[in-house]
Amino acid sequence: MENTIKELKAGDTLQNGIYVIERIIGAGGFGITYMARHTRLNVSHAIKEFFINGYCVRNLRNKTVQLQGIDITMYEKYRQKFLEEAQTLTRLDHPNVVKVLNSFIENNTAYMVMPFVEGVTLQQKVTQHSRLSYETAVNYIAQLSEAVGYIHAKDILHRDIKPENIIITPDNRAILIDFGSAREFVQDKTQHHTSILTQGYAPPEQYTTNSRKGAYSDIYSLGAVFYFSLTGQKPMDATTRTMESMPEPQELVPDIPDAANRTIREAMQLKPENRYQTVQDFMNDLLNTEQNPKTKIRDNKKSISITLSPFAIENLQKMASWMKFIAVFLYVIGGIMIVVLLFNFFSASYYEKGSGILGIVFFGFLIYCINLLHQAANKIKSFCLATDKNTMEQGIFYLKKYWKTRGIIFIVYFSLLLLALLIGIIGEIV
């Protein structure tokens, strides 16, 4: 075919000049992704174009996509699926998931518009450093797990989680991009999905169009990304693994923690039923792996590691502000209670009314309650200090345990404290 090219050129426009193509970001089997500028808003966007490699060419004169070796009915079917997926993805709103802003048909193909995310791919970052430290890798994987758990809750499989589809921003946020392969799914049901995969990161079930697929399919890919991040080596292809064993992470990097090695091994089991069945299961095991002592907290003599995404830290900081307010409030209330009860305790008129014994009893309750309030406020303050860091170094699990075991006692004694205040006031009035 004469005068044909594959991609749009810098300076080409879409949507009547709203978007101006600046450069190609990447290309795959089913699409080309461009960096484009929104001329009205003067902001950069990433625009993915539906383009089946090997079956599509572009006319140089009018920029339209033309077919070769594929039936037009089949092409339109896949293009419609691309648009339906774009519409589904516009409903997603998570800080670690790239958002689809718009979709449209033009040039005999389809496009989806996403924000342009500044940063480098995880592939580039690992290549630059040979491999990542455990602390850095687990931070990224925890963020990605939150993102994948979120899309799974919306019944969407990503199906192409790999280092090239993960952007690391300058503030160390991991963002999952390129949902061109995503499909809606029903857990453990046999479904017809187009066979799209990246060797080394795709589980065995993605090598067939009709197979059981579920959350465990993306979990395999998460494990593979974790493997690559810690070792700097791409995991062995799933089909090859049926014939020979893949080196475990610790065989390549001996200082990888045992529990991390186990987590990756279980996530990358060849049989779906032997893997983690939900992202939450994967996260629970991942965040209980042994870390650097600086990032340990303790609960019942068990070391637990916590790594939080910026989104989680932001929420905790908001919670911490309220906790600080509550702590101050409890101190103020406690001080008022002490003043009131002390005043009544030493009041002659109070004893003359025969309330002295009752006042002493409640004064004893008050001392215990103020002590309880004091401890609670200290725990809250420690918790607030911990949220100022990227990793929780103290507080959260102990605080949960503290409220669980003493919450009822706290409520009872606080009620008695209020009753003591009421008695004091009535004593003064009478």
Classify domain 4-115 at the CATH class level.
alpha beta
Residues 395-426 pLDDT 10s = 444 444 445 555 566 666 666 666 666 665 66
pLDDT at res. 212: 76
User: Cα separation of 312 and 308, whole Å?
Assistant: 6
Q: Are 109 and 79 in contact (CB under 8 A)?
A: yes
pLDDT at res. 120: 95
User: Cα separation of 359 and 340, whole Å?
Assistant: 11
pLDDT at res. 298: 35
Q: Are 218 and 161 in contact (CB under 8 A)?
A: yes
Strand partners, 304: 297
Residues 72-121 pLDDT 10s = 999 999 999 889 888 888 889 999 999 899 999 999 999 999 999 999 99
CB neighbours of residue 344 within 10 Å: 23
Q: Are 39 and 27 in contact (CB under 8 A)?
A: no
pLDDT at res. 326: 66
Q: What is the pLDDT along the chain (430 residues), one digit of tens a residue?
A: 444 568 999 999 999 999 999 999 888 788 899 999 999 999 999 999 999 988 999 988 889 999 998 999 999 999 998 898 888 888 899 999 998 999 999 999 999 999 999 999 999 999 999 999 999 999 999 999 999 999 999 888 988 999 999 999 999 999 998 776 665 544 544 444 455 678 999 999 988 877 677 899 999 999 999 999 999 999 999 999 999 999 999 999 999 999 899 999 999 999 999 999 999 999 888 876 444 333 333 333 333 444 444 455 555 555 555 655 665 666 566 666 656 655 655 554 544 444 544 555 555 565 556 555 555 555 554 544 444 433 343 344 444 444 555 556 666 666 666 666 666 566 555 5
Strand pairing report for 210-213 and 296-299: unpaired
| Whether domain 120-290 has CATH 2.40.37.10 | no
pLDDT at res. 366: 57
Q: Is 174 helix (H, G, I), strand (E, B) or coil?
A: strand
Cβ-Cβ contacts under 8 Å for 311 (sequence gap 6 or more) = 94, 95, 96, 146
Decide: residue 285, CB within 10 A, 0-12 exposed, 13-18 middle, 19+ buried: middle
pLDDT at res. 299: 38
Decide: residue 119, CB within 10 A, 0-12 exposed, 13-18 middle, 19+ buried: middle
Q: Are 115 and 99 in contact (CB under 8 A)?
A: yes
Q: Annotate 70-96 with DSSP letters as a single string.
A: S-HHHHHHHHHHHHHHHHHHTT---TT
User: Cα separation of 257 and 265, whole Å?
Assistant: 12
pLDDT at res. 412: 65
Q: Annotate 319-385 with DSSP letters as a single string.
A: HHHHHHHHHHHHHHHHHHHHHHHHHHHT-HHHHHTT-HHHHHHHHHHHHHHHHHHHHHHHHHHHHHH
pLDDT at res. 26: 84
- Is the model's pTM score more than 0.75? no
User: Cα separation of 395 and 387, whole Å?
Assistant: 9
